[in-house]
């Protein structure tokens, strides 16, 4: 004869196994996902410079000292 504790443990284990098999699927619109991916790729590779995107002229770089002046 099985004890009540053993039966309760078996039912708890069975319930745990069944609840572990639940899958949640989330679907994203393909166009929106592709647009977001393109934006991330542009940011990572910096295909557009921030100054050019605003229409402003890029800032001038400070003059580098010549090799002779460094010594």
**pLDDT tens string for the chain (71 positions)?**
568 899 999 999 998 888 877 777 778 788 888 999 999 999 888 865 555 555 655 555 555 656 555 55
The confidence score (pLDDT) of residue 8 equals 93
Q: What is the DSSP letter of 57?
A: P
**Domain total in the chain:** 1
Short-list 10, 26, 27, CA closest to 18: 10
Determine, yes or no, domain membership for 35: yes
In this prediction the pTM is: 0.30
In a domain, 8, yes or no: no
Domain containing 44 equals 29-53
**Per-residue model confidence (pLDDT) at position 10:** 93
- Is residue 43 situated within a structural domain? yes
- Does 45 reside within a domain? yes
In a domain, 24, yes or no: no
Domain contains 15: no
Contacting residues for 42 by C-beta, under 8 A, at least 6 apart: 48
């Amino acid at each position: 004869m099985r004890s009540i504790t053993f039966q309760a443990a078996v039912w708890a284990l069975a319930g745990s196994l069944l609840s572990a098999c639940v899958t949640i699927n989330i679907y994203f619109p393909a166009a929106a996902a592709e647009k977001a991916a393109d934006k991330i790729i542009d940011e990572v590779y910096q295909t557009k410079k921030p100054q050019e995107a605003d229409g402003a002229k890029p800032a001038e770089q400070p003059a580098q000292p010549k090799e002779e002046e460094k010594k």
